[in-house]
Structure 1
Amino acid sequence: MCFLITDDGLNLPVDAMLDNGFTGFLAINKQYLDSLDWFYIGKETLRTAQGESLFKIYLGKLILNKQEYKIPVYAGDEITEFLLGSEWLKILPLVVNSQASKLQLITLNQKI
């Protein structure tokens, strides 16, 4: 679970799925943008597991493992889940618990 932070500081809990085929930090359906009121940056074509798509990009804030991040967030009509992308794997270790069928991105000060 992570928390999306609205422009006025409200923390909204969401379940997010790791999509290692998505090359950004976070992808969401654009219907959620009105309530978040994030700053629009531009457009970019990115690769997801379904192929390449054009996304609108916003500067968003989220909390993951009690740490706040400012990240580019990609929004599109075709996104059905909150997707954490492979960009997280460059800055956070990924722990896999096969018996529990659980993946977890951890911060360096978090115990496994």
Structure 2
Amino acid sequence: MIQGEFDDIGQLFFEIDLISASGESFSVTALLDTGSTEWLAINEQDLEALEWPRVETRNVVTAMGETVFNTYLGKVVLDAQEYTLEVVAGSDLREVILGLPWLQSRRLVVDRQ
């Protein structure tokens, strides 16, 4: 089971690891965004250290409207399991985002005081 924490305004964050192409692990805090239909979204600047291979460019619908994102093949460790998946990257992303697809294979239990 993965543990998360709420911030001051009620957003839910989890610690995950991003694995670079060279195998180096980077721990980051990721925001669970149930409005995101992507597995993972990150800021383009983070890709320099990760060196993930680019897959394609595609249109993605966001809360701000339709946006063009580059997609990359990335490795992520969540709940002690490693996953290889497509990751979208954009310059306007302020947080690493875990999207709704994670909840298709995981149960979310929230105990907020």
Matched AA of 1:14: V
| 1:80 matches 2:94 | yes
Decide which of 34, 39, 49 is 2:63's aligned counterpart. 49
Matched AA of 1:30: E
CA-atom RMSD in angstroms:
1.0
TM-score (norm: length of structure 1) = 0.84
CA displacement at 1:81 relative to structure 2: 0.3
TM-score (norm: length of structure 2) = 0.83
CA displacement at 1:34 relative to structure 2: 1.1
Runs of 4+ in structure 1 deviating by more than 3 angstroms, as ranges, are: none
For 2:110, the equivalent position in structure 1 comes to: 96
Task: Tell me the distance in 1 between the aligned counterparts of 2:53 and 2:104.
Answer: 24
For 1:108, the equivalent position in structure 2 comes to: none
Task: Tell me the distance in 1 between the aligned counterparts of 2:28 and 2:81.
Answer: 15
Identity %: 42
| 1:66 matches 2:98 | no
Q: How many residues align?
A: 99
Q: Please, which runs of 5 or more residues in structure 2 have no aligned partner?
A: 1-14
